[in-house]
A and B are shown apart, each in its own frame.
Chain A
């Protein structure tokens, strides 16, 4: 809303400096977004319909600074039976007034009176419409004018029936209105959609000489619903939907009449008025000591009465309390005593009331889960990962990049019903899609070395969930591609590959004493088909699958325009990462050095070394893989895996011969078990 500060000064005495005035606006809760050429663009509080006019803003300033508000002149409206015929047929209209006016020679309003319109960048459309716009801006009472010569019979305020049509202003043609919409009609047609907009068939034109002036009070909720249903938003809606002042229709009509009478229009007969505004006499009991406790002030009763009166509240002393009467312009937003505390605080100034910090017996330490989360982040950061954030949803276009079959589990989503953007139509049911997308986006930006992670959650459709729709699954995911150590200028240019990711899982396991293991892939995993079929594994914890790690399927990568890189991905349930750690067992190293041996086995292509590792683990205290190289033999591919085995010797009585014998037994055992599959000792 644009406010001319020059016009405002006619209503209330304000600070001379624009800067000071701007700060005053902020101080009373009216935010100035822009200030230029004595015009403030202001953002009003959503619940304060009474601020949508100069008088309302002036009243708010008066509440803060004191001083009286000067209202513009109005004509006294006399209610009588000789006005236009009006009938209210719905209780959604509280009051409806109608007044005939006519002129012989239409003239424009004076330049001075049009100043509020100019500040608001509203073009002059002739005196009758200008006057209604001015009345709204000055008093906050929306009014409307009909061309009286287009109206047939009685003006009715009623609800629409099924299939009724109207032609709202600025529309190209008639539209069908939903049933139950409050409209103003005559005996033949709809004249206006109540509180929202007028209609073409009754609009005034430059040739109009006779008008009917409407000024009313409509149900705010109904006006808002109608506005939304028809997607029509007007200044009238902005005022009515926040609750208009039910005592103001005659005053608003009086202002329009005054303006029109100043430029050659005359009333014909008296004003018709239907409906009534009976003051509900809403009072709120206010105790002065409670005000002072709430604000930590030392206000006297007189001061509180005076401050409230600035906003239009009157009060009656009732023993030790004040019975505060809510004025009609605040009927819609003042209900509780805390609303009155707010008024008093605003009057004093939010920055002038006392300030203190409550007593705090102790601070709070981070929870175990928060600590674990930070530790995991530190581990990933140390390995060069950057944290990213992705959306909670995606569109079907992105999903199609996975080329999933119609019956694939990832095809099942919770959908948004009303997303403005198709990219937000599906709640994500996996983190993989955004991960690959993020890698792809960076590669397109020529960033080929990628290490990213995210704490996120996705939504799995589940009719048995508590909410009957889905369960939310928090996960940690990471994706890598390119060089493990970007910027490395030495010869060692190891890639961030699947084993790099496996190392991270192992670090999680070691660091947090979680028995995380990689287990056999499963075609039942939703991401199975999106990962390389021979380069993936599930992550298990204490017998449950808690995640997956694998190389992105080359075809998926290709669809994301990832050509040369081989990105890898891991995902692990956050609950698993926060699981209880195994007990910490310190093992004192022996003073005597252990005996160590190395042993190599040749494994045929496709044979998991885990089987041999199990045999190795069974005969020694610990072991590690120290070498692996591929070779060709008899036209087949093989891998030679070398293990280093360690045999503890705490008492110094384990002989080299005994260890050598154990190794021979190991070789024999591997040969017996897996020799038929081609495994042999090298």
Chain B
């Protein structure tokens, strides 16, 4: 067969190829070990000597031509197949992801973690204590004598054996002070506390507190204010704060820390009951009687004590209008808080 005929035949077969397999076969038919080109070259001996060279040149040109043509067609077919496959693999990306959706900590836990992170910067460590307490650690040791209103049966859950459910986490501080600690002492305690009250939107029989004490030589009122300001600013940013006199039996002087209402910027609104300020911290210098109870000389050592209502902080964090839902195990609420669902 002449080179021209071979080329013509190749073209006729090439246009008939309908798949990648047929193209690969055509390639093998022409360029393979037993293909048309090799076969023609092997028959060069039968051609007159003067025709061999032009035949060989023409055959090599044809070989290069076929290689170029068929490679191009194969690439085209491969691209077409790839494109078809990819198109077939189309996914509707508007559907939601299917990984396991992460859960979330309770807002109260988040608040406690934030508070602890701030207190750690000041060198505070966390200590734990019992929830079932005795009257000494809950009241007497904290300068809440028997006639104090906080000891009323109505306010405290009393248990068998004269025990009670702690009404504040200050009991842990009493226990730490009673353990003959070395100074400086910086400890925080947090957890459940109980009040035997009628439950309503703003009162719960069980809620959470976080408290801290710092005992050392030379601590004074300015240090108390500095510490409280540090805590308040670390937790709430640079919103203005103010100090005001308060009364707690176990501190003297006692201090309340107010944060300017973020909603009305101090102008007064329903959220802050028109005050323009929201109380965030209760604190004070540890009362001399408390020191005396545990064998410290109040003339030698002094101390800072403060408490945060973490339940209220958590409800403020999530803009919950009442406290009870925080303890309602309502997944729709927790989803809404963390995922907006």
Give A residues with C-beta under 8 Å from B: 19, 22, 26-29, 31-35, 45-48, 220-221, 224-225, 228, 241, 293-296, 336, 338-339, 341-342, 345-346, 350-351, 353-358, 360-367, 370, 374, 377, 380-393, 414-421, 424, 427, 434, 437-438, 441-442, 445, 447, 450-452, 457, 459, 467-470, 472, 484-490
Contact = CB atoms under 8 A, between A and B. Distances in A.
Interface string B251-287: 0111100100000000010000111010000000101
Nearest to A45: B247
29 contacts: A26-B275, A293-B220, A296-B222, A338-B285, A346-B253, A350-B245, A355-B222, A357-B227, A358-B214, A361-B123, A363-B121, A374-B113, A383-B100, A387-B104, A387-B334, A389-B327, A392-B165, A414-B160, A418-B154, A420-B154, A434-B329, A442-B332, A445-B331, A457-B131, A484-B100, A485-B101, A488-B98, A489-B95, A490-B98
B241 to A, nearest CB: 9
A476 B269 CA distance: 42
Contacts of B176: none
Contacts of A420: 154, 196-198, 205
B45 interface: no
A437 B327 CA distance: 13
A45 B249 CA distance: 11
B48 interface: no
A459 B132 contact: yes
A439 to B, nearest CB: 9
Given A29-B244, A393-B205, A416-B158, 11 more contacts: A32-B275, A221-B146, A336-B252, A336-B289, A345-B253, A356-B222, A364-B186, A365-B120, A384-B100, A389-B208, A392-B194
A363 B275 CA distance: 36
A388 B106 contact: yes
A46 B245 CA distance: 12
Contact of B96 (A384, A424, A489): A489
Contacts of A387: 103-106, 109, 334
B252 to A, nearest CB: 5
B133 to A, nearest CB: 8
B132 A442 contact: no
A228 B156 CA distance: 14
B206 interface: yes
B78 interface: no
A367 B226 contact: no
B158 to A, nearest CB: 5
A344 B99 CA distance: 63
Which of A35, A420, A434 gathers the greatest number of chain B CB atoms within 10 Å? A420
Contacts of A467: 130, 132, 134, 161, 163
Give 7 nearest A-B pairs by CB, closest first.
Answer: A29-B245, A342-B253, A438-B329, A357-B226, A221-B147, A350-B243, A296-B222
A381 B149 contact: no
Contact of B101 (A27, A445, A486): A486
Contacts of A487: 96, 101
B125 interface: yes
A226 B218 CA distance: 43
Nearest to A228: B152
Contacts of A22: 275
A345 B160 CA distance: 44
B43 interface: no
Contacts of B124: 364
Interface of B: 95-96, 98-106, 108-109, 113, 116, 119-126, 130-132, 134, 146-147, 149, 152-154, 156-161, 163, 165, 186, 192, 194, 196-199, 205-206, 208, 214, 216, 218-223, 225-227, 229-230, 242-247, 249, 252-255, 258, 268, 273-275, 277, 285, 287-289, 298, 326-332, 334-335, 338
A467 B160 CA distance: 10
A405 to B, nearest CB: 23
Contact of B253 (A338, A360, A452): A338
A364 B120 contact: yes
A293 B221 CA distance: 9
Given A447-B331, A486-B101, A364 B125 contact: yes
Contacts of A48: 247
Nearest to B314: A389
Given A358-B216, A377-B105, A46 B244 contact: no
A295 B197 CA distance: 38
Given A350-B243, A382-B102, A339 B108 contact: no
Nearest to B257: A350
Contacts of B121: 360, 363
A45 B254 CA distance: 11
A385 B134 CA distance: 36
A288 to B, nearest CB: 15
A442 B327 contact: no
Given A33-B273, A336-B288, A469-B161, A418 B196 contact: yes
A470 B275 CA distance: 45
A386 B331 contact: yes
A416 B163 CA distance: 10
B171 to A, nearest CB: 12
B247 A35 contact: no
Contacts of A374: 113
B329 A388 contact: yes
Contact of B147 (A225, A360, A417): A225
A416 B275 contact: no
Nearest to A32: B275
A26 B130 CA distance: 36
A470 B131 CA distance: 11
Given A34-B273, A384-B101, A342 B245 contact: yes
A407 B133 CA distance: 28
A425 B340 CA distance: 37
A512 B120 CA distance: 25
B113 to A, nearest CB: 8
Contacts of B252: 336, 338-339, 342
Contact of A338 (B100, B153, B287): B287
B221 A341 contact: yes
B299 to A, nearest CB: 9
B131 A45 contact: no
Contacts of B131: 392, 457, 459, 472
Contacts of A442: 329-332
Contacts of A28: 245
Contacts of B158: 416-418
Contacts of A351: 242-243
B199 A421 contact: yes
A374 B288 CA distance: 38
B182 to A, nearest CB: 14
Nearest to A339: B252
A430 to B, nearest CB: 16
A434 B206 CA distance: 15
B274 A34 contact: yes
Question: Of B199, B274, B298, which is in contact with the most chain A CB atoms at under 10 Å from its CB?
Answer: B274
B122 A392 contact: no
A366 B253 contact: no
Contact of B149 (A224, A350, A419): A224
A224 B247 CA distance: 19
A341 B251 CA distance: 12
Nearest to B120: A364
B331 A417 contact: no
Contacts of A485: 98-101
Contacts of B98: 485, 488-490
A447 to B, nearest CB: 5
B331 A367 contact: no
A416 B165 contact: yes
Contacts of A225: 147
Contacts of B254: 342
Contacts of A228: 152-153
Contacts of B298: 338
Nearest to B334: A386
Q: Counting chain B CB atoms within 10 Å of each CB, which of A341, A355, A415, A467 scores highest?
A: A355
B177 to A, nearest CB: 17
Nearest to A242: B149
